[in-house]
Amino acid sequence: MPVQLQSRAYHAHSNREAIESLNSNAEAGLTPEEVAQCYEQYGWNELQFRAGKPAWLKFLLQFNQPLLYILLLAGIVKAFLGSWTNAGVIWGVTLINAIIGYVQEAKAEGAIAALVKAVTTETTVLRDGQTLRIPSRDLVPGDLVLLASGDKVPADLRLLKVRSLQIDESGLTGESVPVDKSIASLPLDTPLAERTNMAYAGSYVTFGQGHGLVVATANGTEVGQISQSMESRVSLSTPLTRKFAKFSHTLLYGILTLATLTFAIGLGRGEDWVQMFEAAVALTVSAIPEGLPAVVTVTLAIGVNRMAKRNAIIRKLPAVEALGSATVICSDKTGTLTENQMTVQAIYAGGTHYRVSGGGYSPKGEISRLSNNTTVEPFEYGLPPVLTACLMAGILCNDSQLKQTGKDWSVVGDPTEGALIAVAEKAGMSQAGLGACC
């Protein structure tokens, strides 16, 4: 099995030490022979996941609920007494409950697997003195990666050259503001969030350019370590599952107590023990709410579907209820929760104020002139030249791009630059059109 090289201490190395430790070349990169050796030693640059539970086991685990144990046992007793219709109804309820839960969890796991496979990026590398564009899975430790605005960092990198480089590491550190990068070595005990000479897999370049040395790939990256720790997590119960288990045990003890008392009192009055046993079983089955597990499962399934429509994937059905049980949400710093979006709302150019409508990064909106800073006046003969020049400068001096996904718009790069592109498109300008003209 390939070894996993980790990027634990490379922030404390100088550029020369990092390059020498991986037998790379700062000017030409790795040779084809060295790349082939690295493939054998480290494997492909893609996360490796443990095999999941087989389908039959996942289905059987749907019956792992205290109340379902009672229903299954009641169904067996009913069948033993010859009441096949009642037994069939009870077993049918438990089976439908298990099928609904299994289908919903299978959908969620399928969506997660599709997301993992969809994360296929390309990256620019320097190998044997040539600049190549290759899939990120082909990277090996020692490769030299070239970063530019909008790129996704394909592996853990020790930065060798930077030019106004800023990287969004919010997915790893939680810091929403892009981090300014440098190349100077840092103390060994520097926390991960403060390692400004490193670029980590899964983060995004929002501004500038840089060169980095691949120091960790696949599960050896910081993201890979998080993935491995998640696979070894313990099973935690949600408020709903705890209440459901408590109710099931209380109900079970109460029903068994009543059934035992009924059987004992009947025998004490001289009744036939077979009839009293049937009466106790009938009491037990009638007191069990057969529809409760199905109702709970269907309700949670509806919640999962609604969350899915909002692009949130819920793997386990009870987890959809956990968010509703939250009573306190903690946030750092000022406590402000934002969408991390920027929108141009006003422009001052050529001594004139202009107002911009619309929100987010959507190009839908209008630009209008303000008279006395209060009255909105439309443009009679098109945009003024000074306003056109202002918008053109904002869209041309720009390393970012707007991306549309369905009805939603997002920016690949710096949020401020994305806002400048959006306001220019509201005036009918586009990056593609102006780039072709220039």
Q: Phi and psi dihedrals of 133, rounded to 5? A: -110, 115
The amino acid at 87: A
Cβ-based burial of 257 (10 A; exposed 0-12, middle 13-18, buried ≥19): exposed
Q: What CATH number belongs to 346-437?
A: 3.40.1110.10
- Sequence-distant contacts of 82-91: CB under 8 A, at least 24 apart: 86/285, 89/290, 90/285, 90/290
What's the pLDDT tens digit per position in 36-93? 998 888 888 887 766 667 778 878 887 777 667 777 777 787 787 777 887 788 788 7
User: What pLDDT does 338 receive?
Assistant: 63
Which residue, 209, 221, 197, 214, is CA-closest to 143? 214
Q: What is the pLDDT of residue 163?
A: 92
91-127 per-position pLDDT tens digit:
887 888 788 778 877 776 666 565 555 455 789 999 9
pLDDT at residue 1, rounded to an integer? 46
Tokens of 67: 């109340």
pLDDT of residue 167: 92
What residues are annotated to the active site?
332
Contact yes or no for 434/392 (Cβ under 8 A): yes
- Packed helices 291-309 and 84-118: angle between N→C axes, nearest 10 degrees: 20
CA distances from 137 to 44, 45, 127, 130, 200 (A): 6, 4, 15, 19, 15
User: What DSSP designation does 405 have?
Assistant: E
CATH of segment(s) 10-45+139-229: 2.70.150.10
CB 433 within 8 A of CB 394: no
Q: What percent of the chain has pLDDT over 70?
A: 85
Q: What is the mean pLDDT of the chain?
A: 80
Burial class (CB in 10 A: 0-12, 13-18, 19+), 416: middle
And the tokens for 271? 């009744």
Q: Does residue 419 have a pLDDT over 70?
A: yes
Integer Cα distance of 173 and 168 in angstroms? 9
Kindly report the backbone phi and psi dihedral angles of residue 331, in degrees, each rounded to the nearest multiple of 5, phi listed first: -135, 150
pLDDT, residue 436, reads 42
Please give the average per-residue pLDDT across 318-331, as a whole number: 74
With beta carbons less than 8 A apart as the criterion, state whether 140 and 214 touch: yes
DSSP per-residue codes, 349-395: ETTEEEEE---TT-S---EEEEETTTEEE--SSSS-HHHHHHHHHHH
Measured CA to CA, the distance from residue 7 to residue 22 in angstroms comes to 12
User: What secondary structure letter does DSSP report for 179?
Assistant: E
Phi, psi of 150 (to 5 degrees): 95, -10
The residues facing 147 across adjacent strands are 210
Query: H-helix or E-strand containing 162?
Result: strand 156-168
Calculate mean pLDDT across residues 235-255.
77
CA-CA-CA-CA torsion sign (128, 134, 138, 139): positive
**pLDDT on residue 329:** 72
Contact 218, 44 (CB under 8 A): yes
Find all residues with CB under 8 Å of 192, minimum gap 6, and list them: 172, 173, 200, 222
Would you state the pLDDT for residue 180?
Answer: 93
Residue type, 415: P
Q: Provide the CA 306 distance to its chain's centre, in angstroms.
A: 17
For residue 158, the model assigns a pLDDT of 93
User: For 419, left (φ over 0), alpha (ψ -120 to 50), or beta?
Assistant: alpha
In this predicted structure, what is the pLDDT of residue 438?
A: 52
List every span in the chain annotated with CATH 3.40.1110.10.
346-437
What is the location of CATH 2.70.150.10 in the chain?
10-45+139-229
